[in-house]
């Protein structure tokens, strides 16, 4: 087995064997990625790293169709990739779309919902601009009222606090709840299933910004009961930049017994040229209305990017998605423990005591003086020096906290399967050193 592992390491791009990857050590798995041994990449929340094999797929498929007579407008565009990826996430081909990124997916969901003036949507201030700017557009366009909650941050935050916050903000006019699967600021793994149950009890539509979920959490969308979810292909899933996933529920099931929300498949070359598409109200609508096809067929698209994303998903399956999730979360837990040891639990913005909220994103204030948490220049300098002096790649984030009028800055670590405890230790010691120098 080790010999086979070594082969993969020595010949990047060699087809990984399933049996080998399923049990390979994390050191060996790191060799699947074109990573420099002198760097610590702790920024998958911005962009992951394509494995050699995925890069090879990308260039091979590009070469295959360039200059050939390939049909770049086949019906329902790469149904086999969509079917495979859909099954990785527990759903069906007609519900899964390969799009360009999470932002595009979110824009298509917001533009596709049948909003009316006076409808309320509930969301948080800790959403990405991809959510908040699209919701503001809906506000300006349709008169939708956007109600933003500020999520709590800190070591002791609990799941129940978050659920209570949402529960107490729902009104009879709430049409939809928009929330992240994992937030990019606090690194909170949101209680998606519980929020969906809460929404369903009141007939509210759920839209999850799952940009960070693919490749991180072994996600069964059917069981979660969400109506819509968008994901990024290039972050934890380590596919090419310019890939994303858009899930649109197309079944009525026990996990989500609500009728399918009215949804307009915005940007389509497959939507009927005249007349209406078949209705979407049947309990198993796949036979009549393949909403995924309407959304997927939207002019020419990068076949190579889709192929490479599908390959990244296959590699994840070979290693084992639940195994990857366990590893990633355990590194997230390790980062939080080490930060609490070095800087005290009060330095952490990410929930730590409640394991249900743990994610591989950890945000914290590395400076001893609390006033420095408002000093964006210090954070920018620290991150730039960290990159140039220590070859450690992280990022800073800026967000609001309950009860404070001013935005806080934080350093953010993202752990992935190619990281190790050593990466976390090395990065943390360097951050603490630089923060002391900058104080
Ligand atoms: C939570 C979250 N949502 C959405 C996005 C946007 O993702 P994409 O670049 O795939 O559009 C990001 C990017 O960092 C993010 O962290």
Determine the residue of 104, 151, 211, 410 to mutate for testing ligand 1's pocket, defined as the one with the most ligand atoms within 8 A of the Cβ atom: 211
The residue-averaged pLDDT of 167-175 equals 98
Q: Say what the pLDDT of residue 3 is.
A: 29
pLDDT of residue 378: 98
Whether residue 217 has pLDDT greater than 50: yes
pLDDT of res. 5:
35
Name the residue of 235, 246, 361 whose CB sits within 8 Å of the most ligand 1 atoms, as the mutation to test its pocket: 235
With a cut of 80, say whether residue 288 has pLDDT above it. Answer: no
Positive or negative, the CA dihedral 281, 179, 86, 267 is positive
For ligand 1, the distance from its centroid to the CA atom of residue 176, given in whole angstroms, is 20
For ligand 1, the distance from its centroid to the CA atom of residue 34, given in whole angstroms, is 23
CA atoms within 13 A on the CB side of 126: 26
**How many angstroms separate the alpha carbon of residue 45 from the centre of ligand 1?**
8
Conformational region of residue 91, where left means phi above 0, alpha means psi within -120 to 50, and beta covers everything else? beta
- How, if at all, do strands 244-248 and 361-364 pair? unpaired
Whether 214 and 27 have beta carbons less than 8 Å apart is answered as: no
In the chain, the percentage of residues whose pLDDT exceeds 70 is: 94
Q: For ligand 1, which residues put their CB under 6 angstroms from it? A: 45, 101-103, 128, 130, 180, 184, 209, 211-212, 232, 244
Rounded to the nearest angstrom, the distance between the alpha carbon of 247 and the centre of ligand 1 is: 15
Residue 223 to residue 327: CA distance in whole angstroms:
22
113 and 308 in contact (C-beta within 8 Å)? no
pLDDT of residue 9: 39
147: left (phi over 0), alpha (psi -120 to 50) or beta: beta
Which residue has a Cα nearest atom 1 of ligand 1?
184
**Strands ordered across the beta sheet of 395-399:** 361-364, 408-414, 395-399
Q: How far apart are CA 16 and CA 42, in angstroms?
A: 25
Backbone angles phi, psi at 208, to 5 degrees: -105, 125
Tokens of 99: 């799009």
Q: First and final CA of the chain: distance in angstroms?
A: 50
Q: Whose CA is nearest to atom 13 of ligand 1?
A: 46
**Residue 282: pLDDT band with limits 50, 70, 90:** low
Atom 16 (ligand 1) nearest CA: 184
Given a cut of 80, is residue 6 above it in pLDDT?
A: no
pLDDT tens profile 388-430:
999 999 999 999 999 888 999 999 999 999 999 999 999 999 9
Binning pLDDT at 50, 70 and 90, where does residue 280 land? confident
Pocket test for ligand 1, best of 105, 109, 232 (most atoms within 8 A of CB): 232
Distance from Cα 419 to the centre of ligand 1, integer Å: 21
**Mean of pLDDT values over 240-264:** 96
Under the banding of pLDDT at 50, 70 and 90, the label for residue 278 is confident
Structure tokens at 357: 């909220």
Q: How far apart are the CA of 67 and the centre of ligand 1, in A? A: 34
Query: Who has greater pLDDT, 111 or 70?
Result: 111
Smallest CA-to-CA distance from 373 within 405, 406, 395 is with: 406
How far, in Å, from the CA of 102 to the mean position of ligand 1?
Answer: 6
| Residue 321: pLDDT over 50 | yes
The residue nearest atom 7 of ligand 1, judged by CA position, is 102
- Average pLDDT estimate for 258-267: 95
pLDDT at position 284 over 90: no
User: Per-residue pLDDT for 325 more than 80?
Assistant: yes
Res 10: pLDDT = 40
Written as six digits, the tokens of 29 are: 């798995």
281 or 220, higher pLDDT? 220
pLDDT of residue 404: 87
Q: How far is ligand 1, taken at its centre, from the CA of residue 211, in Å?
A: 5
- Nearest CA to 58 out of 312, 288, 398 is that of 312
400 alpha carbon – ligand 1 mean position (Å): 18
Distance 412 CA to ligand 1 centre (A): 15
**Could you give all domains of the chain from N- to C-terminal order, each with its CATH number?**
79-312 (3.40.640.10)
pLDDT class for 20, splitting at 50, 70, 90? Answer: very high
Pocket test for ligand 1, best of 98, 123, 207, 212 (most atoms within 8 A of CB): 212
- State which of 101, 126, 130, 239 you would mutate to test the pocket of ligand 1, scoring each by most atoms of that ligand within 8 A of its C-beta: 130
Contact of 188 with 357, CB cutoff 8 Å: yes
> Looking at the predicted structure, is the pLDDT value of residue 1 above 90?
no
Residue 103 CA to ligand 1 centre (angstroms): 6
% of the chain beyond a pLDDT of 90: 88
The residue to which tokens 């991180």 are assigned: 216
State which ligand 1 atom lies nearest to the alpha carbon of 183. Answer: 1
Helix 376-390 with 421-438: angle, nearest 10 deg: 130
Average pLDDT value for residue range 14-30:
83
Give the bridge partners for 377, in sequence order.
Answer: none
Whose CA is closest to 309, among 254, 232, 226?
Answer: 232
Average pLDDT, the chain: 94
Confidence of residue 4 (pLDDT cuts 50, 70, 90): very low
Task: Give me the mean pLDDT over the 277-306 stretch.
Answer: 85
Residues β-bridged to residue 408: 399
Distance, CA of 169 to CA of 147 (rounded, Å): 8
């Amino acid at each position: 087995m080790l010999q086979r592992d070594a082969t993969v390491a020595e010949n990047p791009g060699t087809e990984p064997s399933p049996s080998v990857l399923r049990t390979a050590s994390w050191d060996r798995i790191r060799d699947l990625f074109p990573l420099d041994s002198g760097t610590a990449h702790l920024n998958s929340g911005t962009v992951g790293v394509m494995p050699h094999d995925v890069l090879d797929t990308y260039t091979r498929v590009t070469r295959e169709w360039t200059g050939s007579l390939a049909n770049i407008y086949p019906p329902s565009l790469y149904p086999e990739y969509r079917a495979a990826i859909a099954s990785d996430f527990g759903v069906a081909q007609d519900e899964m779309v390969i799009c360009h990124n999470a932002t595009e997916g979110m824009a298509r969901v917001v533009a596709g919902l049948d909003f009316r003036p006076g409808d309320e949507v509930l969301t948080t201030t800790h959403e990405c601009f991809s959510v908040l700017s699209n919701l503001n557009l809906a506000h300006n366009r349709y008169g939708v009222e956007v109600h933003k909650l500020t999520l709590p941050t800190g070591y002791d935050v609990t799941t129940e606090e978050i659920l209570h916050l949402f529960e107490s903000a729902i009104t009879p006019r709430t049409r939809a709840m928009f929330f992240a699967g994992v937030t990019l600021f606090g690194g909170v793994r949101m209680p998606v299933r519980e929020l969906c149950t809460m929404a369903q009890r009141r007939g509210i539509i759920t839209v999850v910004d799952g940009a960070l979920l693919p490749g991180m959490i072994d996600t069964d969308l059917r069981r979660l009961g969400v109506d819509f979810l968008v994901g990024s292909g290039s972050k934890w899933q380590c596919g090419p930049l310019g890939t994303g996933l858009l899930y649109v529920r197309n079944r009525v099931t026990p996990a989500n017994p609500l009728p399918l929300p009215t949804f307009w498949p915005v940007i389509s070359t497959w939507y009927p040229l005249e007349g209406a598409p078949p209705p979407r109200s049947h309990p198993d609508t796949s036979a009549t209305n393949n909403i995924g096809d309407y959304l997927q067929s939207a002019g020419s698209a990068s076949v190579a990017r889709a192929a490479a994303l599908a390959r990244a998903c296959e590699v994840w399956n070979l290693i084992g998605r639940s195994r990857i999730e366990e590893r990633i979360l355990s590194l997230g837990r390790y980062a939080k423990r080490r930060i609490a040891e070095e800087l005290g639990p009060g330095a952490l913005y990410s929930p730590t005591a409640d394991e249900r909220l743990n994610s591989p994103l950890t945000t914290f204030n590395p400076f001893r003086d609390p006033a420095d948490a408002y000093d964006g220049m210090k954070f920018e300098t620290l991150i730039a020096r960290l990159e140039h002096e220590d070859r450690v790649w992280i990022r800073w984030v800026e967000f609001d906290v309950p009860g404070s009028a001013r935005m806080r800055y934080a350093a953010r670590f993202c752990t992935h399967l190619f990281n190790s405890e050593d990466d976390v230790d090395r990065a943390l010691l360097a951050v603490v050193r630089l923060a002391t120098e900058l104080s």
